[in-house]
Amino acid sequence: MTMSRFVTLVLLLCATLSFELEAQSLCNSTNAIQNGFKLDANVGCSPFTVVPQDQSGLTDVKYIFDYRGQPATELGSLNPGLQDVLFNGANDQPRTYTILQYGKDANGVEKYSCQNLVVRKDNKPKFSYNSCNNQILNITVPDVVENDFDSYVIHWGDNSTESFTSIPYKKTKNYTSLTASRTIKVEGIYNTPIGCSAPSFQTIDMSEGGNYANIDVLKLSEESKKVEIKFDGLNEDYKLFKRSVNEVYDNNNPIASIGPGTIALDVNSSVQYCFSAFRNSGGCFESAGEVCTVPLAVDINGKENVLTWQEHPLVLNTLFGSNGEVQNVTYNIIRSGETIDYFNNVTSPYVDQINCSKEYCYRIETVVKGIPKFGSAKVYESTSLSNEICVDRGSFRPNAIQTLSATFNGDNKHVVKFKDDSNWDLLKTQFYLYTLYPNNDSLLLDSVNGVQDFTTFEIDNSCYRIGYRDECGSISELSPKVCVVNLAVEYDEQLKWEAVNPFTNEAISNYEVYFENENSKAYDLLTNRSNAFNDLSPDLSNFINEARFKVKVLGADGGFSWTNSKVIPLEFKLYLPDAFSPNNDGVNDILEVKGSIGRAESISFVIFDRWGKILFDTNLNELKWDGFIKGKALPIGQYIYSINAELKDGTRYKHSGMLELLK
């Protein structure tokens, strides 16, 4: 037969098996006719050739072989066929198609006739088997989509058969004779003959043949704390067992039942576990070969990622008295980034030289080979995939700087000093200064390009940390905190400084208290204090204008730090002699106001005669008198003086009295 046209149809899984017309439009219209054509068969297996036989009496007959309810105006655009079509490539489930015939009757009126066609995939029964001892054969037929037959027949290869209709189905055959192989067949039968091909006989190994239990893939997930197990074997349940690498299997406590497919189990992803499966299948004792998790760790070392993993054990393992053995283990690295790269047959630790500006993800692929049980000629192979670790330098924190100190400078500003002892070999592009709040929150204050002191403005917070950015863009862990030591004056003229350490790597040895020399303005040592004390009540009697102090904190290893400087306000005191003799003999020639006048904002010093006439007056800058008025010496006698002062805190001071001028 000559085919004018071939149409390939993709069958959809959700289609239903039905002999009713799916399309409603033209098939059920008033112009529809019955039995306009016939088919050799309305059911067939793909590939299925359909040859419509016209019996309508219409003219200009055409066919739409996959009609879906379109109106008559669209039929021309559907590429109508004339004679036959090949339905090819069906999915697992059958699909129903509608064939539409159309042509014109003797009056030129267009008529329509429809039939449905069911196309199946040319399935062969899906089954699994295992055998042992040259005598026992186990066959299971699962309830899966492919097994859509009305009945089944097992041909055992010894001229006997087994028929059944219900699935899932399992059967154990114990042959009366021993043989190393047998020729068997599992056949599926449809009640309606549709021309599907029959399966062929196959020769099987009767010693350890068939779908032997095997853990194909063991995949560890650190993020979800699970292990995924992909298992293959007979379509039955096996008992799954787990042990830690330092333990043995407990035959009485399987952790799960497992069949062909994938399951996920909760595990501690940092602990290495081994898995195996066991089943007594009609006298065939099956042990899946052991496969273990391989936990991965990745450390960053400069521009290197260093991979280490827990190696797979190469040992005998016993399950139900049968010793399996892992005989060979190969490690491969799967690295994903912009591309996926493989590094085969590697050992731990593995150093990966990388471009540190990029992100990389790693997984160890461990290929395990061995025998599943003692004396077995069967060699198993499994793959253990480690947890995946992604290294993003943006989230990595290099080592912290450890050595810092904090001090006040001469302007009472905070200065933070540090040295780079991070032991991180990469170039540092910036160093950062953070201030630390009481709740331990950190706020970035400043940055510098190299190792140099940070000088801060006067701020309320007194504690700091240092961090840095390396050439790969990673921001380091923050250093230990360091604090300046604040000096304060208590209400009772007592000096008190904070009991905090201005060093990160030194204990405080002792304190030295310094005062400012009022003449030289240099700081001189006043006294020493042990590290058990952080206060002092200084003697203020030797200070005239102001008493300024600061404390030097000494470290046990030679470091030092200064506190801020503080002034203890002195009591305002004036002293004026009640007599003087301006005779140029070098003794008491000058009358001078003396005392602790550092707190004074202004002072006036006035001399009166006995009748209240002002003879002399001066201010804070020149509080002395030589006994002369306009170059003329005043006579001996008594005079009146008056001193008025206003202190910096607004307090006013007034004092007056009599003095005597002698010769």
Kindly compute the dihedral angle of the four CA atoms of residues 490, 495, 500, 502, in this order, to the nearest 10 degrees: 130
Q: What's the pLDDT score for residue 9?
A: 32
- pLDDT tops 50 at residue 16: no
Q: What is the mean pLDDT of the chain?
A: 87
262 versus 546: which is more confidently predicted? 262
Cβ–Cβ contacts within 10 Å for residue 272, how many?
A: 21
Model confidence band, residue 130 (pLDDT cutoffs 50, 70, 90): confident
Q: What's the pLDDT score for residue 95?
A: 84
Report pLDDT digits (tens) over 347-379: 999 999 988 888 999 999 999 998 887 767 788
Q: What's the pLDDT score for residue 302?
A: 87
Cβ contact 618:591 at 8 Å: no
Report pLDDT digits (tens) over 156-180: 999 999 999 999 999 999 999 999 9
What would the two tokens of residue 587 be?
A: 């003794």
Average pLDDT over residues 644-653: 87
Beta pairing class for 652-661 and 579-580: parallel
Kindly compute the dihedral angle of the four CA atoms of residues 404, 408, 410, 416, in this order, to the nearest 10 degrees: 30
Q: Is the whole-model pTM more than 0.75? A: no
Cβ contact 324:317 at 8 Å: yes
- pLDDT tops 50 at residue 389: yes
- Return contacts of 351-355, CB within 8 angstroms, 24+ apart: 351/301, 351/304, 351/305, 351/306, 351/307, 352/304, 352/305, 352/306, 352/307, 353/303, 353/304, 354/303, 354/304, 354/305, 355/303
597 versus 41: which is more confidently predicted? 41
Strands (E), 105-191: 110-120, 128-132, 136-141, 151-155, 161-164, 169-174, 181-189
Average pLDDT over residues 418-440: 91
79 versus 482: which is more confidently predicted? 482
Report pLDDT digits (tens) over 514-550: 999 988 999 999 999 999 999 999 988 788 778 999 9
Cβ contact 424:399 at 8 Å: yes
Average pLDDT over residues 409-434: 93
Model confidence band, residue 264 (pLDDT cutoffs 50, 70, 90): very high
**Domains of the chain, first to last:** 26-120 (2.60.40.10), 128-205 (2.60.40.10), 214-391 (2.60.40.10), 403-483 (2.60.40.10), 487-568 (2.60.40.10), 573-661 (2.60.40.1220)
357 versus 219: which is more confidently predicted? 219
Terminal CA-to-CA distance of the chain, rounded, Å? Answer: 159
Name which of 288-297, 317-326, 438-447, 515-524 the model is least confident about.
317-326
For residue 102, give the DSSP letter.
Answer: E
What would the two tokens of residue 182 be?
A: 């047998």
Average pLDDT over residues 264-272: 91
Cβ contact 216:231 at 8 Å: yes
Cβ contact 383:217 at 8 Å: yes
Coil, strand, or helix at residue 223? coil
Report pLDDT digits (tens) over 457-510: 666 778 999 999 998 889 999 999 999 999 999 987 899 999 999 999 999 999
Q: What is the DSSP string of 36-89?
A: SEE-S-SEEESSEEE--EE-S--EEEEEETT--S--GGGGGGG--BSS-EEE--
Residue burial 280-308, b: 16+ Cβ < 10 Å; e: rest: ebbebebbbbbbbbbbbbbebebbebebe
Report pLDDT digits (tens) over 575-623: 899 999 999 898 999 999 887 777 788 999 999 998 999 999 998 778 8
Q: What's the pLDDT score for residue 92?
A: 64
User: In residues, how long is the chain?
Assistant: 663
Cβ contact 60:90 at 8 Å: no
Cβ contact 326:313 at 8 Å: yes
Residues in a beta bridge with 372: none
